[in-house]
Structure 1
């Protein structure tokens, strides 16, 4: 770790000794500590705070989120992190303020003129959030560092005693996949995923590879399946073969090899080592 890096990092330096010992940058050490702490603290909402008032649960989410943000980003960079998170996470709030203003139900066309699919009406915000609700949602410690991204109504349901909503696919589906037509759906989803993570080249290489694998798998199925559906025995053979390869062989090939290959740049972050890895493999 260089002196320049240490001097410019504004987050907590309490674990500098651990960073030096394990050979990782201090910001990554703090990030890992914050993520583990978030997992542990989230259990507060399962039992100890399960029957607490929504206001208190909001306050706990906000307070821990602010402390975690200060620990990882410091006085200066936490502002930039909050701005980034507000812009990225408040998609549902931005689109549904119009619903509050007009006091009527919006059609999918009114929500977004480019929408070709459907937008789940359950994501519609029925009232403007209070300042506590808004900032607690924006800075909730469970999702502050790297997600998962959730809609505002999902967060409110969780605070009022429901389960924490399931992760990121639903958000990507509503925000990127179902909007703008079918032509570039996969590109939009993987592109948004890359932008959400940051601006290191490795992120974009990983999600580009993931998109490539997804498109290739779909095209292979489109080309292969019609060859087997014209008769019942062939279709049964195809379904059985698909089940076996998916559950057994493809579990190893896809998960252990293809995804590992695709995600190495996600860890390396930088362009030169990522290209070197792809060049060697």
Structure 2
């Protein structure tokens, strides 16, 4: 186990290291998240909105967020307050016309400096780093600034539905701003929550857009339903993912793909199979952290989205990840939409829904810079943009040709499921490896073949693949797709 001599966080749990496979930084992260999970229940019950004032709820969430930050990061936790403090000064001093761009620039500059310091100077012996929570805080303060710009500058008729929903008409107080930025349930691993949703949670208001309970529900529906079932399910999922990571990482280390025997002496099929397995094991680490964070938020009362048809409360309004949606997605879009869902919402709110051209490229660019400056990130995001365009071409030009029957639709979905798994492993391994030349060396051995296929689809697909134009069969196809049930996501989009 690494000595972690330069780790600035608490060493209270260091003696437990020999009994686990975890270093003290990893133990601190796990302990902090389970502490947040238990504290969230106290927050939801003892400090519920009917019993205490919003100021007390703000202060409670902020104080324990600061404590968790200090426990995990020591004196580095000053950045958790430093980034929002600088951005709050920008909000107070800048014209509402430009405040959104100014806050995004300052927050990204601050975060980028931390990323670069970690990349160039930090001790690589420990994996827990202050940049993780700062990435979440950057999302919060920038989305707040954009909402403030919308509320103070834009006319309502010029706003999209999401901009109307999240528009802010006045600058938050100091306590509101900092408690929103550093609330303990979502501090360490998200998910990002927009400011108006956070205020509704603090003040006890029902979240906008939640579904009412069905009138014929057999059980008694409470206004404040218990999140126990959702919390238990997500904690179990987190534990399973942690076991997968711990048990299979020694068998499928990502570092193996840099070794000469793997690069030079294995077949193309084995390389692709190993990349698929190794990247899946790494994803389990993210699933663990995100599911546990989701559980903490739900246990605090965050994330209620309404009721299912049988009256079961749903707790998926704010979520980091949809594991089944990612692992079983039949298209690149489905998988991307299911991965880091809070970040997808943030990118859509800030970029994708606001620009008229090159929205996809600009969205990938902001996402790449937000992640940091390791070369592997940029190989993945550049490849991701290319494969996204190629995937759109296939969906628009090919899918409808297979929609004539349930069997052909199933064949199409099965084929795209396999292709999506292959592409995900192929395009994301540099993101995990981080290094440029080892990633490029392996791509050279693979012949960049999937990049070539994607580029050909983008360049020649619209010209060579005829679009399905049989208008007379649209209703028939729609009926087939509806009968296909879970095999189809195209109902209502035949045109």
Deviation readout 1:149-199 (Å, 9 max, x if unpaired): 22211211222334434241322211121122232x222333333333333
Q: How far apart are the structure 2 equivalents of 1:176 and 1:135?
A: 24
Deviations 1:121-154 (Å, cap 9, x if unpaired)? 1111122222221110011223322332222112
For 1:270 and 1:176, locate their aligned partners in 2 and report how far apart those are by CA, in whole Å. Answer: 28
Alignment of 1:146 onto 2:207? no
Q: Which residue of the partner structure matches residue 114 of structure 1?
A: none
Counterpart residue number, 1:188 = 362
Q: Decide whether aligned partners of structure 1 residues 92 and 204 sit closer, same or farther in structure 2, where only a CA change above 3 A counts.
A: same
Inter-partner Cα distance in structure 2 for 1:20 and 1:278:
39
Q: Distance in 1 between matches of 2:65 and 2:145?
A: 22
1:19-63 C-alpha deviation (Å, 9 max, x unpaired) = 677666654553444344444544445545444433332222212
Residue in 1 aligned with 2:11? Answer: 13
1:266 CA displacement:
3.7
- 2:423 maps to which of 258, 270, 275: 258
Name 1:106's counterpart in structure 2. Answer: 155
Instruction: Tell me the residue number matched to 2:59.
Output: 59
CA contact 2:168–2:196 (8 Å) conserved in 1: yes
For the Cα contact (< 8 Å) 2:143–2:346, is it kept in 1? Answer: no
> 2:172 pairs with 120, 124, 129, which one?
129
CA contact (8 A) 1:92 1:123 kept: no
The correspondence of residues 1-281 of structure 1 with structure 2, limited to 5 A, is: 6-17=4-15, 26-51=24-49, 52-53=51-52, 54-75=54-75, 77-82=76-81, 83=83, 84=111, 85=134, 87-97=138-148, 106=155, 120-161=163-204, 162=206, 163-164=302-303, 165-167=317-319, 168=342, 169-183=344-358, 185-225=359-399, 228=401, 235-237=403-405, 241-242=408-409, 245-246=412-413, 248=414, 250-251=416-417, 253-255=419-421, 257-271=422-436, 274-275=439-440
Cα 1:18–1:265 shift into 2, 3 Å? farther
CA distance in structure 1 between the aligned counterparts of 2:168 and 2:15, rounded to whole angstroms: 46
What CA distance in whole angstroms lies between the structure 2 residues aligned with 1:194 and 1:33? Answer: 30
Contact 1:118 1:178 in 2 (8 A): no
Distance 1:279 1:48 in 2: 59
Distance 1:59 1:202, change over 3 A: farther
Shift of 1:78: 1.7
Cα deviation, residue 108, structure 1: 7.8
Q: Structure 1 residues 170 and 97, CA, compared in 2 at 3 Å: closer, same or farther?
A: closer
Q: Cα distance, 1:218 vs. partner?
A: 0.6
Higher alpha-carbon Rg: 2
Contact between 1:34 and 1:68, CA under 8 Å: does it hold in 2? yes
> Scaled by the length of structure 1, what TM-score is found?
0.71
Find the aligned partners of 1:276 and 1:26 in 2 and give their Cα distance: 35
* Secondary structure of 2:347's aligned partner: helix
User: Within 2, Cα distance between the matches of 1:221 and 1:152?
Assistant: 35
Q: TM (normalized to structure 2)?
A: 0.44
Aligned equivalents of 2:431, 2:7: Cα separation in 1 = 22
Change (3 A) 1:98 1:212: closer
Structure 1, unpaired ranges of 5+: 112-116, 229-233
Cα RMSD between the aligned structures? 3.7
Distance 1:145 1:121 in 2: 29
Distance 1:133 1:274 in 2: 44
Q: 1:60 to 1:166 in 2, by over 3 A?
A: same
